[in-house]
Amino acid sequence: MSANIDDILSAARQHTNEVITPNVDAWNKAGIWPRDASDKAAALGLTGLYAPEEWGGQGLSLGDGIQVYEELGKGDGAYAFTLSMHNICTFATCGYGTDAFKAEWARDLTSGRKLANFALTEPQSGSDAVNMYSRAVINGDGTWTINGAKAWVSLAGEADVYLTVVKTSDKPGHQDMAMIAIPKDTPGLSFGPRYQTPSYDFLPLAEMYMKDVTVSEDNIILPPGQGLQGALMAIDIARVSIASGCCGLMQTALDTALSYAKNRKMFGAKNLDLDGIQWMLGDVATELEASKHLYRAAANALGTPEGPLMAAHAKRFVPDAAVNAANTCTQVLGGMGLLKPYGLDRLSRLAQMLRIVDGTTEVSRVVIGRALQKRARTLPDLPVPKGYGEE
């Protein structure tokens, strides 16, 4: 029997209230991944959400499990994003890993004793992921040797294993792409200096270098030919997870603005009594409701033919709504909105980051545009009214 989603959501809420919200500013100041916090999340079952119970996971559907990031996103969107990536890698390990790899890693990942992340982006390629230089070649004994560099690797040096997408030949295109798990302590694996980020500095981000990194064939998560397809499936789950986290962020921004505006005296009344303020916050509330419906519908569509398009709709709409929400709520507080203790400036920067990671807003528009072209091809031609377009 899988875990009860209501219990898991209530555990995530408790984790946000007791661990994330009170500590996130200190984490950012320290600039260190809070491993003790992710250990606590693990103890609540938040590191094996979709993994089957036989491997120690919670056995939740994507549709249910993705709601966890809405709760965690109330505390911090970058923390929610990082746990979402770990859960996706854990799901991929349990679903596609070799028996030997699962035997070694699955329980450590579902229990959160070990953390995992995903490495696709390279210094020269983000949105255009196929423009990839990292190469894996098979050796005579069946092992694989990998050379190349990845960029923007989250949990760089902190995660214990990196599910890395590589090409296995010099042929153009993606037909030869594979996904290979590289443990952190593999000789030849190293990390560059940490990127400096203003509002989520506790998340280690860096380049990852692979110099003659050799792993067993047991570490092949997706063989050549399936790497890009697998990466895109992972990214679809990530896009919806990000939209879920953004809803938490919007709720926190809105509640901060309401808590302030209900008491701020002005013009003989309260800030929240002004129609203009109610309309501004009302629009945030409407966009939040729409965002919740959209990401939940997208989460339920994952794994169906509509999944990629629904994920693109959610990733296109919700982070933009989160940017608007954070900025509008800052405006409602006036100058106070810019002060650190209220956290709204941090929320604006997090929302902007969530517009970029795992497929930018523009890339989502490309996916939606292609779907529209496909639909247009199924529609009858519109007859041109007489007198138009004739020589």
Read off the amino acid at residue 19.
Answer: V
Q: Which residue in the block uniquely carries the two structure tokens 């875990």? A: 3
b/e code 98-111 from CB counts within 10 Å (16+ = b):
beebbebbbbbbbb
User: Is the separation of the CB atoms in 308 and 359 below 8 Å?
Assistant: no
Q: Answer yes or no whether residue 257 interacts with ligand FAD by CB under 6 A.
A: no
Residues 268-287 contacting ligand FAD, CB under 6 A: none
Nearer to ligand FAD, 178 or 357 (CB): 357
Q: Answer yes or no whether residue 152 interacts with ligand FAD by CB under 6 A.
A: yes
Q: Could you give the CA distance from residue 120 to residue 133 in angstroms, rounded to a whole number?
A: 11
Q: What is the 3-state secondary structure (H, E, C) of 161-225?
A: EEEEEEECCCCCCCCCEEEEEEECCCCCEEECCCCCCCCCCCCCEEEEEEEEEEECHHHEEECCC
| Size, binding site for ligand FAD by CB under 6 A | 21
CB 67 → ligand FAD: shortest distance, Å?
22
Residues 337-376 contacting ligand FAD, CB under 6 A: 353, 356-360, 362-363, 366
Task: Identify which range of 35-43, 64-72, 152-160, 312-320 contacts ligand FAD by CB under 6 A.
Answer: 152-160
Nearer to ligand FAD, 115 or 257 (CB): 115
**Binding track, positions 191-220, relative to ligand FAD; x by CB under 6 A:** --------------x---------------
User: Is the separation of the CB atoms in 114 and 160 below 8 Å?
Assistant: yes
**Binding track, positions 117-136, relative to ligand FAD; x by CB under 6 A:** xxxxx----xx---------
Q: Could you give the CA distance from residue 367 to residue 120 in angstroms, rounded to a whole number?
A: 19
Nearer to ligand FAD, 161 or 254 (CB): 161
CB 159 → ligand FAD: shortest distance, Å?
9
Contacts to ligand FAD by CB under 6 A: 85, 117-121, 126-127, 152-154, 205, 353, 356-360, 362-363, 366
